[in-house]
Amino acid sequence: MEKELYINGLIKENFKYKLSELGSFTWAYVVISKNNMSISAYATNYPDEWVKYYHDNNLQFTDPVVITALNRLTPFSWHEKIHLDNESLFFRIFEKPKLYGYTFVLHDYKNNLVTLSLLTDPGKRKETERFINLNKGRLDLLLASVHEEYLALTSLSEKNNPSLIDENLFTRRENEILYWASVGKTYSETGTILGIKTTTVKFHMANIVKKLGVVNARHAVRLGIELHLVKPVS
């Protein structure tokens, strides 16, 4: 943990220095394992309360910026159509600030999704878009070069272990319930299959919903399928 905090601190200072040469932004660099959607690393000057809210609610599962970035190779602005409805808790974090954002994307050789998001006041949107269009190459290179430094500083092999899905995200029972829900089984049918009470099935599904930071079971199943988190039951 101390090593990770130290490395994240180095990356933060690197971005802080290099971005200051380009302008004044609220920014976030995030590394997410595409195997299990865990956040491997981050560096940001976001307010601490935003970061805490994001982590406490596992918003990487419902963050429309992350969902969009998973299917992109090129940078995109947040006003573009994004692939998620506003059921997500993510929208609450930006409800009051109402910031305008632009995200650069990188998919690395260790199966990580890496993003660099720049946020500014929406009143400066045109000015920001003009700046970004003129500096896309520099910002893409900045993301690639700093992430390369990050990979050189740390090994992500443990973070990218697919077994972490079962160990750290869902329990075996939760995975079973999510699987049967994904193939259309009702709570009652799932309970019969697993030999447990319907109320127990509902209890575990509530935990799944909480872990994914979504608002209901239907949304949890949809995200589980979309993010390849549903594992076949042996």
CATH number of the domain to which 27 belongs: 3.30.450.80
Question: What is the DSSP secondary-structure string of 106-123?
Answer: EE-TTSEEEEEEEEE-GG
In a domain, 14, yes or no: yes
- Considering the domain architecture, whether residues 104 and 202 belong to the same structural domain is answered as no
| Residue 212: per-residue pLDDT | 79
The ranges of the chain with pLDDT < 70 are 1-3, 80-99, 154-168, 234
pTM listed for this prediction: 0.63
- Considering the domain architecture, whether residues 41 and 8 belong to the same structural domain is answered as yes
Distance CA 150, CA 9 (A): 11
Closest CA to 209 of 178, 167, 179, 172: 178
In a domain, 20, yes or no: yes
- The answer to whether residues 224 and 230 touch, using CB atoms and an 8 Å cutoff, is yes
The two three-digit tokens of residue 85, written as one number: 């409805």
Say how many residues make up the chain. Answer: 234
Q: What is the pLDDT of residues 68-99, one digit of tens each?
A: 999 899 999 887 655 544 444 445 555 544 56
Looking at 153, 188, 217, which one is the last position of a domain? 153
| Residue 3: per-residue pLDDT | 66
Number of domain units in the chain: 2
Looking at 153, 180, 202, which one is the last position of a domain? 153
In a domain, 163, yes or no: no
- Considering the domain architecture, whether residues 7 and 79 belong to the same structural domain is answered as yes
DSSP state of 80: S
| Residue 1: per-residue pLDDT | 56
In a domain, 17, yes or no: yes
The domain of 188 spans: 170-226
19-58: buried (b, 16+ CB within 10 Å) or exposed (e) per residue? beeeeebbbbbbbbbbbbbbbbbbbbebeeebeebbeebb
Report in angstroms the alpha-carbon separations of 54 from 50, 91, 135, 224: 6, 11, 29, 19
In a domain, 232, yes or no: no
